Structure 1
Amino acid sequence: MNRSSDSRTGIANSNSLRTSRPVLFPQNQSGETNLQWIAILTLLALGWFLSLLWSQIEPEAQKKKSVAKPPQVSKSSARTGTAKGSSDSSASPLNSLSEAEQLIFDDIFELFLLCQWNSAMDASTAHRVARARTDLQNLLDSLGPEHVAMLTGILEEEPDFINRRFLLKALGKIGSEEALNSLLEHYYWANSEGKESEVKHTIQSLSLANNDASFDILRDFSLSEEDEIHRYRFVEALTQHSRSEDARDVYGALLEDPSHFRVRQRAAYGFKVSGKKVDAQTVESALLVEKNPYVRQSYLGALGGIRDVNSIPMVQKILSEDNDISTRISAVRALLRIDGANAIQALLVARNTGDSSDKVNQEIATALQQLGIED
Structure 2
Amino acid sequence: MNASREAGQPPPRNPFTPSFGTPPPLLVERENVIAEFEEALEIGPGAPGRAIFVTGARGVGKTVVLNELEDSAKQAGWIVITDTAGPGLVDRLTHATLPRLLREHDPHATQSRLTMVRITSVAAEREVSEAHQPQSTLRSQLEQLADLLAPHRTGILLSLDEVHHAAINDMREVAAALQFGFREGRDIAFVAAGLPESINHLVNDRYSTFLRRAERFELTAISPPAVERALREPVEEGGRTITDEAITAAVAASDGYPYLVQSIGFYAWRAAGQAETIRASHVEEAITTARRRMEQQIHEPTLADLSPVERTFVLVMAADSGPSRIADIAERMDVGNNYVQPYRARLINAGVIRPIQRGVVDFAIPYLRSYLRRVHLGLAEAPAGLIEQAPDEDLGELPRE
Interval of TM-score (by shorter of Structure 1 and Structure 2): under 0.3
Structure number with the bigger relative contact order (C-alpha 8 A, sep ≥ 6) is 2
| TM-score (structure 2 length as normaliser) | 0.22
Say which structure is richer in strand. 2
TM-score (norm 1): 0.23
Larger radius of gyration: 1
